[in-house]
């Protein structure tokens, strides 16, 4: 592991020295502690990585950072050399003028490894963030537990995990992996609300390539095992992925601008030049009337939200559903939308987990939910059933049913079976439901329904195909016409697609003072 030269202890100052002499000595010691070893810095830059302090400069507003425990060192008699900061920079500053607490591990010092003093600094800044009700950002770049300190290093991780859980749903927690994050350390990002990774820089895994080679005989590189692309598309660990550190930290700043400081605050609102009353006639061209023709639902979202800007969560994982944060009328909203261009937008195990956690996060931080529905059902298959689609699908139902924020459902096109219910239908508590005039809401599609209901009749028909076509037409006209659900109170209004933005913003305004009305309880028991 790279090591930074130890900062020398202050030389004794004679009693005859003035206060100014002491002040000058303070500034010199502080300068050495903050600048660090130049060779170690060069090695960090050679890897395409910023130093801990440079990262904090990119994250926080200029000149806003207040550092804690700059001179913290391991206890006397520690088996490791004494370095100022002990490999982690902690403190607080502002992002877009709002208070944020942060810590940044310094790989230049003992590989950013976590020891007793290092952990104590992190525990302190986490406790302060919780007490102040402000977001916490962790900039992670560490070789793991400091082996020389033994079990005390492991206990340090335990203290971090406990505080991650204590802060969960209370303050936004953001993990930014900017180097290695291995072993037990990998569980802290998994406990936070959002995890950022950088391509070709970030690596996360519980057991590394060498251990896997020894135990299983498999050969795998760090990038193949736990790189950004793997966690973005395969494991679902990475919420966001960036091409470089500067872009990543700018994305973190934007995310913070969309979130409240804590669970008791509302998300910040901003003035917008995008008129709330703006109609969206292009929507009628984006979404084909034929339910079998795919389209990219991101185009629908971009057309409706303020300035066509939205921040997609888990963009590359479980892509048959889109989860995103955006603004409408200057207010933050959480958007969920089936994605017809990927597997027809079906719900499956991964999409259920992705959507459920997003709903829970939005509900924890008072972010209204807008759900765009175009879903053919849950994905059928033996693997899905055996891997627990019932259990995982129930997570999505639980999350929506448990949510107390304003909830608006918009049915764009088809909405079939249990998937219709799970996508925040009125029956599970959506406050308002709107549907476009091409909507089809039913237990299943007309063709499948006719095949089940009239199976015997079709088998005995002289011209089964003609009869099938006739029955499909009759079934559609009777039970699947665009106004059927509205006639029964399950849809509040059938609207012109061009008015979708206007109707959602009006609904959000009407529901802005919505408050939860639940019997007190210790906690629920969500599906595992």
Using the CB atoms, write b or e for 325-364: b if 16+ within 10 Å: bbbbbebbbbbbbbbbebbbbbbbbbbbbbbbbbbbbbbb
Beta bridge partners of 373: 411
Helix (H) or strand (E) holding 62, with range, is none
Question: Is 434 domain-assigned?
Answer: yes
How far does Cα 478 stand from its chain's mean position? 42
Phi then psi for 356, rounded to 5 degrees?
-60, -45
What is the model's pTM?
Answer: 0.90
Spatial distance between the Cα atoms of 354 and 428, rounded to a whole number of angstroms = 19
Same domain for 105 and 84, yes or no, is yes
Question: Is 321 domain-assigned?
Answer: yes
Tokens of 327: 């603004």
Same domain for 344 and 406, yes or no, is yes
Question: Is 100 domain-assigned?
Answer: yes
Same domain for 326 and 458, yes or no, is no
Q: Strands 88-95 and 66-68: what pairing?
A: antiparallel
Q: Strands 440-442 and 407-416: what pairing?
A: parallel
Q: Total domain count for the chain?
A: 3
Same domain for 428 and 469, yes or no, is no
Question: Is 25 domain-assigned?
Answer: no
Token pair 């940044």 in the structure block, residue: 104
Same domain for 305 and 352, yes or no, is yes
Same domain for 333 and 474, yes or no, is no
Give the 3-state secondary structure of residue 304. Answer: helix
Question: Is 13 domain-assigned?
Answer: no
- pLDDT (tens, 9 = 90+) of the chain, 528 residues, equals 444 445 555 555 556 789 888 888 888 878 877 777 788 888 889 888 999 999 999 999 999 999 999 988 887 767 777 778 889 999 999 999 999 999 999 999 888 999 999 999 999 999 999 999 999 999 999 988 888 888 988 999 999 999 999 999 999 999 999 999 988 899 999 999 999 999 999 999 998 898 999 999 999 999 999 999 999 999 999 999 999 999 999 999 999 999 999 999 999 999 999 999 999 999 999 999 999 999 999 999 999 999 999 999 999 999 999 999 999 999 999 999 999 999 999 999 999 999 999 999 999 999 999 999 999 999 999 999 999 999 999 999 999 999 999 999 999 999 999 999 999 999 999 999 999 999 989 877 777 777 778 788 777 787 888 888 888 787 777 777 788 888 888 999 999 999 999 999 999 999 999 887 666 777 778 887
Tokens of 155: 């206990």
Same domain for 330 and 463, yes or no, is no
Using the CB atoms, write b or e for 395-428: b if 16+ within 10 Å: bbbbbbebbebbbbbbbbbbbbbebbebbbbbeb
Helix (H) or strand (E) holding 153, with range, is helix 151-167
CATH number, domain of 369, equals 3.90.226.10
Q: What are the catalytic residues?
A: 183-184, 418-419
Residue pair 87/240 in contact (Cβ under 8 Å)? The answer is no
Same domain for 369 and 471, yes or no, is no
Same domain for 356 and 488, yes or no, is yes
Question: Is 266 domain-assigned?
Answer: no
Domain that holds residue 440: 283-444+482-510
Same domain for 62 and 204, yes or no, is yes
The closest of 345, 336, 398, 321 to 367, measured between CA atoms, is 336
Task: Count Cα atoms within 13 angstroms, Cβ side, for 366.
Answer: 20
User: Which residues of 222-293 form beta strands (DSSP E)?
Assistant: 240-242
Phi then psi for 396, rounded to 5 degrees?
-65, -45
Tokens of 376: 């053919």
Same domain for 474 and 363, yes or no, is no
Tokens of 405: 């924020």
Question: Is 110 domain-assigned?
Answer: yes
Same domain for 491 and 471, yes or no, is no
Question: Is 378 domain-assigned?
Answer: yes
């Amino acid at each position: 592991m790279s090591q930074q030269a130890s900062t020398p202890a202050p030389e004794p100052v004679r009693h005859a020295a003035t206060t100014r002499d002491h002040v000058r000595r303070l500034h010199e010691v502080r300068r050495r502690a903050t600048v660090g070893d130049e060779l170690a810095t060069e090695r960090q830059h050679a890897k395409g990585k910023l130093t801990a302090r440079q990262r904090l400069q990119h994250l926080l507003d200029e000149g806003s950072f207040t550092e804690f425990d700059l001179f913290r060192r391991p206890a006397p008699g520690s088996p490791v050399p004494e370095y100022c900061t002990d490999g982690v920079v902690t403190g607080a500053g502002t992002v877009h003028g709002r208070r944020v607490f942060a810590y940044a591990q310094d790989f230049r010092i003992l590989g950013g490894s976590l020891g007793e003093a290092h952990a104590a600094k992190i525990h302190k800044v986490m406790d302060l963030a919780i007490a102040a009700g402000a977001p916490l950002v962790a900039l992670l770049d560490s070789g793991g537990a400091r082996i020389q300190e033994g079990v005390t290093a492991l206990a340090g991780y335990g203290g971090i995990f406990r505080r991650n859980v204590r802060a969960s749903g209370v303050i936004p927690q953001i993990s930014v992996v900017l180097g290695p994050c291995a072993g037990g350390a990998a569980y802290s990002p998994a406990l936070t609300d959002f995890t950022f990774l950088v391509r070709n820089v970030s690596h996360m895994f519980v057991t590394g390539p060498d251990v896997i080679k020894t135990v299983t005989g498999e050969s795998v590189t760090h990038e193949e095992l736990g790189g950004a692309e793997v966690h973005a598309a395969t494991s679902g660990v990475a919420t966001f992925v960036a091409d470089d550190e500067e872009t990543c930290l700018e994305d973190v700043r934007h995310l913070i601008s969309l979130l409240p400081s804590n669970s008791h605050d509302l998300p910040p609102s901003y003035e917008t030049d995008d008129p709330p009353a703006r109609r969206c006639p292009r929507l009628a061209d984006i979404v084909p009337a034929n339910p079998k023709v795919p389209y990219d639902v991101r185009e629908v979202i971009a057309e409706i939200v303020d300035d066509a800007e939205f921040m997609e969560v888990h963009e590359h994982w479980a892509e048959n559903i889109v989860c995103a944060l955006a603004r409408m009328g200057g207010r933050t909203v959480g958007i969920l939308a089936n994605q017809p261009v990927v597997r027809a937008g079906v719900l499956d195990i991964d999409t259920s987990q992705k959507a459920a956690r997003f709903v829970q996060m939005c509900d924890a931080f008072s972010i209204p939910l807008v759900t765009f529905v175009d879903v053919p059902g849950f994905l059928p298959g033996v693997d899905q059933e055996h891997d627990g689609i019932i259990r995982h699908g129930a997570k999505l139902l639980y999350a929506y049913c448990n949510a107390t924020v304003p909830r608006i459902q918009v049915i764009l096109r088809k909405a079939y079976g249990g998937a219709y219910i799970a996508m925040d239908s009125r029956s599970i508590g959506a406050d308002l439901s709107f549907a476009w005039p091409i909507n089809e809401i039913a237990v299943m599609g007309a063709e499948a329904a006719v095949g089940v209901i009239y199976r015997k009749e079709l088998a005995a028909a002289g011209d089964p195909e003609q009869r099938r076509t006739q029955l499909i037409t009759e079934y559609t006209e009777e039970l699947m016409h665009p106004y059927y659900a509205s006639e029964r109170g399950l849809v509040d209004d059938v609207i012109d697609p061009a008015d979708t933005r206007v109707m959602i913003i009006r609904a959000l305004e009407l529901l802005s003072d919505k408050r939860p009305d639940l019997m007190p309880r210790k906690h629920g028991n969500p599906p595992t």
